[in-house]
Amino acid sequence: MFKKIIIFIFILLTSFVYSQDSVNIEGAKYSIEILNKNVNNHYSNFGTTFYGDDKIVFASPIKKRYIIKNNWKGNHQPFLDLYIGDITDNGQLENVTKFSKNLNTRYHEADVTFTEDKRTVYFTRNNYFENKYTKDSTGMNLLQLYRANITESGEWENIEPMPFNSDQYQTGHPTLSSDERTLYFISDMPGTLGKTDIFKTTIAQDGTIGEPINMGPKVNTAEREMFSSISGNDELYFSSDGREDGLGGLDIYVTKIQKDGSLSAIQNLGTPINSEKDDFSFIINYETRRGYFSSNRGGGHGDDDIYTFVQELPLVIECSQVAQGVVINKNTGKILPDALVILYDNKGTELNRMIVGDDARFSFGELTCNESYKVVGSKEQYSTDSEEFLATEDQKLELELALETIKNESFEMSNGKCVVKINPIYFDFDKSNIRQDAEVELYKVISVMQKYPELIIEGGSHTDSRGSSKYNDGLSSRRAKSTVDFIIRKGLIPSNRISSRGYGERELVNGCADGVRCSEEEHQFNRRTEFVIVNYDQIKSKYPEICLVRATSTKEQIEQGVKINIDAKKDGYIKGGQDNTGTTSDELIKKERERKSFNSIFETTANGNILIRINPVYFDLNSSNIRKDAIVQLDKVVDVMYRYPELIIEGGSHTDSRASDSYNNNLSDSRAKSTVNYIISRGINPNRITAKGYGETQLKNHCSDGVKCNNDEHQENRRTEFKILNPEVINR
């Protein structure tokens, strides 16, 4: 089997050069500069990694003084060792020295990654362990991944190979996730999709390494993926020469690792980071946005050179969301198959539609993050329901559309019974024969029974309390029988679906019993003929529109004007009379309530601005995508704007002082726009809210450029505020 020995560190031997149009990633802008010759010699220099905030570790093939020749046969350059240098203000390196005598052997050492506490290092080296130089079955010595611990005195000890290493394939290029619980690396082990792939494995609390997992075809191609690195925000950077949008050779790409482990769209970093040559080994400080990469492009000092760069604009990670959900019957809570669901954009343009199946589920994919959408569900004999939402980085959004059964006006609830709704059926005094005006109503009953063939009905007649009980029982029975006989004689309803019953005066609907003096109108309420649905409990799930009954929530009661009684004696309110200014207790109570309400909703800053009081709105570092926890706070802003429909507000975002002014201005502007877009998506008029990014121009503390502060102090400056532009409307 042919061994792919020219992987990982040795990509420089082969250069795939071809020309394509320039690619520029959305938002990002970089300024680059080559490192000086104290770092870049005429050999291959690459493999940078941060060692704390102010140092860089990199690989360089500087010659060693061994008795045995120490040139690598692959490219006739010296074997690679690790070096460390101090980062200057302009990104250059000074005080460059060999990194660790414990790690540096006479063979290749390169590509390292450190835990944040600098107590553990993962690194790439030849298969050379415990003074044993091991070859594979073809006689080649391959690269392997190792781990070491750092002692209090700075010595490296407990050097160990990764448990998934093998003499028959290579592993290397390690990088850690931000929580240091996932190790990413490169390998050509069995299961590789191309020449070299990116893999990941778990790291347990006790340091145990899990089984390797291939990152899959979204990242890995049929060619080479290598030099992976993770930024502090779980942005995975890597190089590949197997993608159609490459500019030539190896190009640097990025994808965002979502909280659920899924990946955002793979994006080419574009020029000037990528060129028509090999570009690789990309790292970036997620706070300062300064970073390093290597390239063998023209104009360098040697074979491969290390470049430093500053990211001037925030990187806009392309992301798309899948909006999915279920349609339910609001009255029963059960799923509702065969409903129509339509997806609209924020301008009301229809984007897609579908009829839900037996599981009543719908799904719309490829929705652009930070864009507003709306889904509308409908079905015959049901009300429509809609959900407006903002697409976020979460790969899947779960929605619920609850369609309420449209009440069928042919039915009503009467004294706890479901009855066919008809006008009163009148009989001539002391008669039971059907009058012509009564026939109109009885035909309505026939029509309803034809429409709902499962209905079983009882025709029941009632009298008032005048006359004897025996007389009234007989009269009501005759009248009930007459109405039912009329329906059966028409030949449209079988006799087993309808029966008659006379109730006499036994079910009065008011207090007009024997001996009670009542008006004729009050007696008329008791003289009635009802067609009761006998099997209502059995058929109501199939026909929920029949005698529709829905509980009313407390919120709906409030919206409908139901008043809540408040005890004015509580909370220190005056019990009665007036205060010494002549203000009545009711007026004082009202003012006190207004004051407490104001303080619970708004806050006044030191410079007199009135803000909507919310908890901090957090963003992932260097990201402007709305998080789930931020939505809770933004919904509070929406509620306030509905409560005060004349309010006009400004959504202003602020950053800390880290990174450049231009970067922070653009980042804060993107965050402000994201929050405002979300609020607009909740139905707020766009004319009532504006977005403004302040960058680092309004710091709340001393943490300006060059001042060393901890993360909590920087967090105080990273904030989103909603300022009232017309505070005079609050007290109207």
Q: How many residues does the chain have?
A: 732
> What is the rounded distance in angstroms from the CA atom of residue 572 to the CA atom of residue 549?
43
Give burial (CB, 10 Å; 0-12/13-18/19+) of 294: buried
Per DSSP, what are the bridge partners of residue 267? Answer: 254
Q: What's the DSSP call for residue 189?
A: -
How much is the pLDDT for 582?
A: 54
User: How does pLDDT run across 673-694, given as a tens digit for each residue?
Assistant: 989 988 988 888 999 999 999 9
**Does residue 102 surpass a pLDDT of 70?**
no
Q: Tell me if residue 666 falls in helix, strand or coil.
A: helix
- Whether the pLDDT of residue 190 is over 90: the answer is yes
Greatest alpha-carbon pair distance for the chain in Å reads: 131
Measuring CA to CA, how many Å separate 622 from each of 30, 64, 233, 259, 314?
A: 15, 42, 8, 16, 7
Tokens encoding 74? 């692959």
**Chain CA centroid to CA 359, Å:** 24
Quick one: which of 693, 712, 696 has its CA closest to 704?
696
pLDDT digits (tens, 9 = 90+) for 207-250: 999 999 999 999 999 999 999 999 876 889 999 999 999 998 99
Give the DSSP per-residue string, 20-77.
Answer: ----B-SS-EEEEEEPPTTT--SSB-EEEEESSSSEEEEEE------SS--B-TTTS-
Query: With 90 as the cut, is the pLDDT of residue 360 above it?
Result: yes
CB 72 within 8 A of CB 79: yes
Of 272-276, 513-517, 565-569, 635-639, the range with the lowest mean pLDDT is 565-569
| Whole-angstrom distance, CA of residue 152 vs CA of residue 472 | 104
pLDDT 10s digits, 616-627: 887 776 778 787
Greater confidence, 14 or 331? 331
| C-alpha span between 658 and 638 (Å, rounded) | 31
Contacts of residue 572, defined as CB under 8 A and 6 or more positions apart, other chains included, come to 592
Contacts of 26 (CB under 8 A, 6+ apart): 267, 316, 318
Query: How many CB atoms within 10 Å of residue 242?
Result: 17
Task: Note the pLDDT of residue 2.
Answer: 30
Q: Compute CA 414 distance to the chain's CA centroid, rounded to the nearest angstrom.
A: 47
- Looking at residue 74, its pLDDT comes to 41
* Cα-to-chain-centroid distance, residue 643: 26
- Unique residue bearing structure tokens 């502090």: 232
DSSP state of 6: S
Q: Let me know if 634 is exposed, middle or buried by CB neighbors in 10 A (0-12, 13-18, 19+).
A: buried
Q: Dihedral sign, CA of 521, 523, 527, 528?
A: positive
**Residue 280 burial by CB count (10 A; 0-12/13-18/19+): exposed, middle or buried?**
buried
| Residue 130: per-residue pLDDT | 60
Burial class (CB in 10 A: 0-12, 13-18, 19+), 647: buried
Give residue 17's pLDDT.
Answer: 33
Q: What's the pLDDT band for 365 if we cut at 50, 70, 90? A: confident
Arithmetic mean of pLDDT, 105-129:
76
* 239 three-state secondary structure: strand
Cα 375 from Cα 345, distance rounded (Å): 9
Question: pLDDT for 450-478, tens place per residue?
Answer: 988 999 999 999 888 888 989 999 999 99
8: pLDDT strictly greater than 70: no
Contacts of 24 (CB under 8 A, 6+ apart): 270, 271
> DSSP letters along 716-732, please?
HHSEEEEEES-GGGTT-
Is residue 309 classed as helix, strand or coil in its secondary structure?
Answer: strand
- What average pLDDT does the segment 385-409 reach? 80
Residue with the two structure tokens 């067609």 = 531
The neighbouring-strand residues paired with 213 are 200
Burial classification of residue 350, based on how many CB atoms lie within 10 Å of its CB (0-12 exposed, 13-18 middle, 19 or more buried): exposed
Over 80: is that where the pLDDT of 101 sits? no
Sign of dihedral through CA atoms 673, 678, 681, 685?
A: negative
Q: What is the DSSP letter of 384?
A: -
**What is the pLDDT, as a whole number, of residue 433?**
85
Whether the Cβ atoms of residue 579 and residue 592 lie closer than 8 Å to each other = no
Place of tokens 């066919």: 420
Does 497 score more than 90 pLDDT? yes
- Calculate the average pLDDT of the chain: 81
Mean pLDDT value across residues 491-507: 92
Q: Structural domains in the chain?
A: 8-313 (2.120.10.30), 320-403 (2.60.40.1120), 411-539 (3.30.1330.60), 605-729 (3.30.1330.60)
Q: Assess whether pLDDT exceeds 80 at residue 557.
A: no
Token digits of residue 248: 């030539």
Q: Name which of 386, 398, 524 is nearest 464 in CA terms.
A: 524
Direct distance between the N- and C-terminal alpha carbons of the chain, in angstroms, rounded to an integer? 83
Task: Find the helix or strand (DSSP H, E) in which 145 lies.
Answer: strand 143-150
- Tokens standing for residue 494: 């079988």
Bond preceding residue 616 cis, omega within 30 of 0: no
User: In the structure, what pLDDT confidence band is assigned to residue 86 with cuts at 50, 70 and 90?
Assistant: very high
* Short-list 650, 680, 643, CA closest to 668: 650
Band the pLDDT of 721: cuts 50, 70, 90. Answer: very high
CA distance 208 to 228: 22
Tracing tokens 């009661």 back to the chain, one arrives at 557
Please name the helix (run of DSSP H) or strand (run of DSSP E) that holds residue 110, with its range, or none: strand 109-114
| Per-residue pLDDT tens digits for 505-547 | 988 888 888 888 888 888 888 888 889 999 998 888 788 778 8
Per DSSP, what are the bridge partners of residue 31?
Answer: 310
550 pLDDT tier (thresholds 50, 70, 90): low
pLDDT tens for residues 331-359? 888 999 999 999 998 888 889 999 999 99
Which pair of tokens denotes residue 639? 């509620």
Q: How confident is the model at residue 64 (pLDDT cuts 50, 70, 90)?
A: very low
Q: What is the pLDDT of residue 3?
A: 32
Which of helix, strand or coil describes residue 13? Answer: helix
| pTM for the predicted model, two decimal places | 0.61
